[in-house]
Structure 1
Amino acid sequence: MGLLSFSSLALTALAISTPLASAANAIFYPKINLTDTENNLIQAHGGAILRSASSDDNNWYWFGEDKTGLTNSGSFIGVNCYRSSNFVSWERVGHVLSPQDGTNISDSKIVERPKVIYNDKNSEYVMWFHGDNSSYGAAQVGVATSQTVDGQYSWKGNFKPFGNDSRDMTVWKDPDDGSAYLIYATNGNADFSIASLDSDYYYPNESLYTFEEKFWEAPGVFKIDGVFYLIFSRQDGWTPTDNFYMTSTSMAGPWSEATLLAPEGSYAYLTQNAYDIVIEGSKQVVYLYYGDHWSGNQLGSSTYAFHPTTHDGETLSLYKTGAWTLDLATGEWSDLPFDSITAADSTTPDTNLVPCEDGCAGGQAANMTSETSFSFTYSGGAGAKVLGIEYVYNGPKNRFLHIGVTLNGAQAEGNALMETTRGTTYAQEAPFPVELADGDEVTLKLLDADGNAFLIDGVKVYEDLR
């Protein structure tokens, strides 16, 4: 059968109906491989995105870890910087912090989660990062500075805040009063602490609050209507975990009980919070979540996911979407429309279909093994598309399967990466860019001969507007 057309999902209070994305709009397909203007994979893991402080510079700057070629090693290659005016075309500036022999930032050391904030007093950009050795025993923070956002950052040194260890961390600047804060995992990763920074943003000034025996990491902050939303995840190595948030009217607390940012078992749609970005549009403010989609055994191939968050005056939620567009000028955003085919309406043989347990459309899913497949006939306009493959894979943590796409019997370039949802039947969505023409026979096949079976609920077909 051909594709069944569906309109985009009903939109929440922050998502309003807009036309298909224009050239001025940002386009997001969460977890898709992102490339720079030279068509190389973007290497900016665990990073941060901010605007230049210069009124003459309209670019966004993306900092992050370069893990080119790395598998499960965190050895320091460099902190990359990219710039873009539209969140679509990212130009690589290059390494703005590079290894220095014989120091705590040599290529045998660890530099992770680089965050950059602007210090108005000194007209200076200040980078903080998690600095460590290969055994993660040093447990320090590091600081570097630059007079320009994309210049070479001068390393000032590594140290333990207040003499205590620090691993996963972030720094955050309050847009209202310019005060800045360090949030970090400490005490053997058991505690989670908040400290204010000095006026230069070089050192922690005062310890404000400590959550004891929590084992949390990946901190980030939004401030909405005078309320601080502290985002974090549980610790589980390079594996996606459920993300949570707490609220307070002061960074010194008291803080509310933890609330899930996305449904339990979705593991924040297979991401971990990296940085949280505020875009002040002319019509509304967007609170943009930027998460890492870690590939724990192939860190250099890890991807990224940008999601809007919704806020109803009290509750903050990560919005589930497979493709969406954002007008950076107005702040208006919406899902991209898609054509959809369910397993029940596909050309997949009935013998491969099983009842689904996750409430999937059509009530059936394709049981994927090395001998079975999911297939459909594409009906629609020719051109670049992104297949949103909806699947459930309940297996061991940090386990990936690879799906190949064949068009009319020929293998398409690339493969889709399916990741386990570890003990849940929460349906995830994996993107796969492909060129399609009307009448194409599309087949999804498992490429891992020894892979565990999983289920495909269906496929969404989006226009590829990147």
Structure 2
Amino acid sequence: MTVMKKTLLLCTVLLTFAFNSLYAQMLGTEKYDRFYPGKLWFDTDGQIINAHGGGLLLHEGTYYWFGEHKGEHSNAALVGVTCYASTDLYNWKNLGVAFSVSDEPGSPVERGCTLERPKVIYNKKTGKFVMFFHLELKGQGYNRANVGVAVADKPEGPYTFLKNGRVNPGKWPQNLDKTFKNKQFDKNHKGWSDEWRQDVAEGMMVQRDLEGGQMSRDMQLFVDDDGKAYHIYSSEDNLTIQIAELTDDYLDYTGKYIRIDPAGHNEAPALFKKDGKYFMITSGCTGWAPNAARLLTADNIMGPWTRHDNPCRGKGADKTFNSQSTYILPLPNGKFIFMADRWMPSNPIDGRYVWLPIEWESGMPVLRWHDQWRLEE
């Protein structure tokens, strides 16, 4: 056999092996050993992972991934919240629907409602798993801006719906200047003008929503080192992030909350802590289209918070690599994974997951694109 024929044969064998390996991986018959940001991701049964806008919980050595179940033609909640389990973060087993929407007409979680960004935390005192999610009532668009609360005895559920509503009705934020609590804001200020933005920053929408409670849309839950839990959410028509302290059972609010970057137009908050300092990556508000990420930092979770430049670097940084933050996972080894979604409104189920390692420069988190990467690197 000539050298040329041997070379062609070797190339054919290698290509065949690569194709078969990929096909087997797609069918769930071969394990993943690395992340492929933005690529199709299949569970251990060979089905596309369907857990969008999600978050992770580590419990007794197993990671649980909760997310929105999406269909092909609608972003409405037609199924509920799905749950997947993994011990290595690469390979995920579908545990089914952790929280199901209701077929009862008029239920706050009626099939067809909007249910987004579910997050789950574990309460060591009560032994309960607590789920919060952004909830919009069926047929009412994004006007209600409620938070839904559900609870379970096991991480995978089933979760029982407890209640929904807005945040801290009748309560003022701790860091709102007292002089603005009774200010008469000028309703003639044109939207998005400098005067209007100043009104928002001074608490115009807090005052507007005081009686019924503060709006809650894109959200996260965070449990601090002392066991205190917090609800972080986009409020005031997505113009201001708020952080609200939860009661010891994680099912309600203590009444203490703050505003972050008032009138800064932030959503998709993802908060984490490193070496006693708090970091939060957010996005701007451009609908389903991606935009540049933002970074905020604080020495105390209840502020003050400082806003910084985009933490992304390199090609695609101005669009957060065509994705939007949803959660940041701390790992036992001290590293962190930035979790984001690449939304696909024309075919929601095809929304891709972008998981990237957080790097550090001068004590600040940095994100760079990787076609593939491993936790061990």
Superposition TM-score, scaled by structure 1 size:
0.61
Contact map agreement 1:26 1:326 (CA 8 A) in 2: no
Match for residue 328 of structure 2? 276
The reply on whether 1:59 has 2:111 as its aligned counterpart is: no
Match for residue 179 of structure 1? 228
Which deviates the most, 81-90 or 209-218?
Answer: 209-218
Q: Aligned to 1:137, what secondary structure does the other structure show?
A: coil
1:121-200 residue pairs with structure 2 within 5 A?
121-133=125-137, 134=139, 135-162=141-168, 163-174=213-224, 176-200=225-249
Contact map agreement 1:34 1:42 (CA 8 A) in 2: yes
Match for residue 5 of structure 2? none
The alignment yields a C-alpha RMSD, in angstroms, of 1.9
Paired AA for residue 309 in structure 1: I
Of residues 52, 55, 79, the one that matches 1:48 is 55
What do residues 301-321 of structure 1 show as CA deviations (whole Å, max 9, x unaligned)? 101011001123422101321
Contact map agreement 1:231 1:273 (CA 8 A) in 2: yes
Question: How many matched pairs?
Answer: 298
What is the CA distance between 1:169 and its match in structure 2? Answer: 1.2
Match for residue 92 of structure 1? 94
What is the CA distance between 1:27 and its match in structure 2? Answer: 0.7
Contact map agreement 1:33 1:303 (CA 8 A) in 2: yes
What do residues 87-108 of structure 1 show as CA deviations (whole Å, max 9, x unaligned)? 2221110001001123111112
Q: Aligned to 1:121, what secondary structure does the other structure show?
A: coil
Paired AA for residue 297 in structure 1: S
The runs of 4+ residues in structure 1 deviating greater than 4 Å are 23-26
Cα distance between partner residues in 1 of 2:160 and 2:53: 20
1:329-344 residue pairs with structure 2 within 5 A?
333=377
Match for residue 74 of structure 1? 76
1:426-465 residue pairs with structure 2 within 5 A?
none
* Structure 2 stretches lacking a partner, 5+ long: 1-29, 169-212
Cα distance between partner residues in 1 of 2:33 and 2:365: 22
Contact map agreement 2:239 2:263 (CA 8 A) in 1: yes
Cα distance between partner residues in 1 of 2:272 and 2:113: 31
Paired AA for residue 63 in structure 1: F
1:229-378 residue pairs with structure 2 within 5 A?
229-263=279-313, 265-281=317-333, 285-327=334-376, 333=377
Contact map agreement 1:24 1:86 (CA 8 A) in 2: no
Contact map agreement 1:218 1:273 (CA 8 A) in 2: yes
> How many percent identity over aligned positions?
31
Structure ranking higher in helix proportion:
2
Of residues 90, 93, 110, the one that matches 1:106 is 110
Match for residue 220 of structure 1? 270
Distance of aligned partners of 1:190 and 1:209 in 2 relative to their CA distance in 1, 3 Å threshold: closer
Cα distance between partner residues in 2 of 1:275 and 1:265: 18
Distance of aligned partners of 1:76 and 1:213 in 2 relative to their CA distance in 1, 3 Å threshold: farther
Q: Aligned to 2:320, what secondary structure does the other structure show?
A: helix
Cα distance between partner residues in 2 of 1:227 and 1:313: 14
Cα distance between partner residues in 1 of 2:260 and 2:339: 25
Contact map agreement 2:32 2:91 (CA 8 A) in 1: no
What do residues 418-437 of structure 1 show as CA deviations (whole Å, max 9, x unaligned)? xxxxxxxxxxxxxxxxxxxx
Structure ranking higher in strand proportion:
1
Match for residue 117 of structure 1? 121
Of residues 17, 32, 36, the one that matches 2:43 is 36
Cα distance between partner residues in 2 of 1:204 and 1:217: 21
Q: Aligned to 2:129, what secondary structure does the other structure show?
A: strand
Cα distance between partner residues in 1 of 2:317 and 2:90: 30
